[in-house]
Amino acid sequence: MVLRYDVIAKEIFLSSSIPLNLDIERYFNHHKMMNRIRAFEETAATANADGLVLGAIHLSIGQEAIASGVCQNLEKDDFLLSTHRGHGHTLAKGANPQSMMLELLGRRGGICKGKGGSMHIADFSVGMLGANGVVSANINIASGAAHAIKLKGGNNISCCIFGDGAINRGPFLEGLNWAGVFKLPVLFVCEKNGFASTTVTEAMTSGEGGKQRAQSLGIPAEEVDGNDIVEVDECVRQNIEEIRSGGGPRFILCNTYRLHGHTASDPALYREQKDVDEAWRNDPISKCRDLLKNAGVLDEDLEGHQTDALSEMRAIYDEAKQAPWPELQLAYEDVQDSGDPREEAF
């Protein structure tokens, strides 16, 4: 879609407090990606309600500005390690949503051949080294991928996204310390969505939280409004630049809110509806859309992002539903080179 401006709105924009140097095309692209992530998640929720998603899925609705703002600033050869709530990150890193949806449905052609499901989505062809079913386990792996970059002498970086629940597991300390000690090119991004599964994270967190913990390990850390795509994008861009120029690891805390339950099947009755309603008023996609409207971008084009994304993801879902199960021999493949598991098979 070509970026078009509304002349009158643009005059309003020019007289408003929005910075004149705002790169409208950049945020137009973010808006498009955020809508694609939202549409993927909503379609996944539908598939879950239809009983076609086989295991638990964890939706990132409300956290799209972080996924887009972080991952669209990464190059293809940069590494990404994500979490159980990782569909948005994976899509924004460039993975094919059709292969992702096939994986969620456990079908042939799934991105991990139907052997991983939602929590193990990976696409090595775009540097996405895996979501992870174990909270914070991706942190040490991300530091290690950065260690390999340092040993091999590349200019790429490693990026690790995790939730606020992850800061209470040991690998948070060990992995950040490791990255600091070896001055590795890693960007740590904490998506603080307020919940660790069904528990309010702060109720189970002593001290001031992730940013201060990172700083105490000597890692420069910043905090942004994770629902403000401009804040996320600018902070990430600047930090990546510093990491690429040899500055060592960086940490960004992104404040956001998990608009859905822990899993797609969790009604999240443990929180007040008014808090959820309040959080919806801070929806990152609406905020981005307002920004672009005020900057003069035509409303119909922005609307188009939403409708196009929904039709894209619906078509993907329709195709995934038709796909057959994986070939049975795959159960015995990709285990390891040494030894044959068939010898012990029934």
Partner 1 sequence: MTVMTYADAAKAALAEEMRRDPLVWAVGEDLGRGGVFGQYKGLVEEFGSERISDAPISEAAIMGASVGAAMAGTRPVVEMRFADFALCAVDELVNQAAKARYMLGGQTNVPMVIREPMGIWRSSAAQHSQSLESWYTHIPGLVVVVPSTPADNKGLLKSAIRSDDPVVYLEHKNIWGIKGEVPDEDILLPFGKARIEREGADISIVSWSAQLHVASEAAENLQTKGISAEVIDLRTLWPWDKEAVFSSVEKTGRLLVTHESVSVGGFGAEIAATVSEHMFKALKHPVRRCAAPRVPISYAPPLEDMIRVTATNIVDVATIMMDSGN
Interface residues toward partner 1, by CB under 8 A: 79, 81, 110-116, 120, 122-124, 129-130, 132-134, 137, 139-152, 158, 170-171, 174-175, 177-178, 181, 333-341, 343
Q: Kindly write down the DSSP assignment for every residue of 81-130, as one continuous string.
A: E--TT-HHHHHHHT--HHHHHHHHTT-TT-TTTTSS-GGG--BGGGTB--
Query: Measured from the CB atom, is 19 or 246 closer to partner 1?
Result: 246
Q: 201 CB contacts (<8 Å, ≥6 apart)? A: 164, 165, 192, 194, 195
Beta bridge partners of 80: 128, 159
- Work out how close the CB of 133 gets to partner 1 at its nearest, in angstroms, rounded to a whole number: 8
- Work out how close the CB of 270 gets to partner 1 at its nearest, in angstroms, rounded to a whole number: 27
Give the integer Cα–Cα distance in Å for 188 and 181: 15
Q: Identify which of 50, 11, 243, 230 has the alpha carbon closest to the alpha carbon of residue 143.
A: 243
Query: Measured from the CB atom, is 4 or 183 closer to partner 1?
Result: 183
Q: Are 238 and 232 in contact (CB under 8 A)?
A: no
Query: Measured from the CB atom, is 140 or 193 closer to partner 1?
Result: 140
- Work out how close the CB of 28 gets to partner 1 at its nearest, in angstroms, rounded to a whole number: 32
Query: Measured from the CB atom, is 277 or 334 closer to partner 1?
Result: 334
- Work out how close the CB of 254 gets to partner 1 at its nearest, in angstroms, rounded to a whole number: 22
- Work out how close the CB of 135 gets to partner 1 at its nearest, in angstroms, rounded to a whole number: 10
Query: Measured from the CB atom, is 114 or 296 closer to partner 1?
Result: 114
Beta bridge partners of 190: 162, 253
Report CA dihedral (73, 79, 84, 88) to the nearest 10 degrees.
Answer: 30
Main-chain dihedrals φ then ψ at residue 200, nearest 5 degrees: -65, 120
Q: How many helices (H) and strands (E) does the chain have?
A: 12, 7
Query: Measured from the CB atom, is 87 or 287 closer to partner 1?
Result: 87
- Work out how close the CB of 224 gets to partner 1 at its nearest, in angstroms, rounded to a whole number: 26
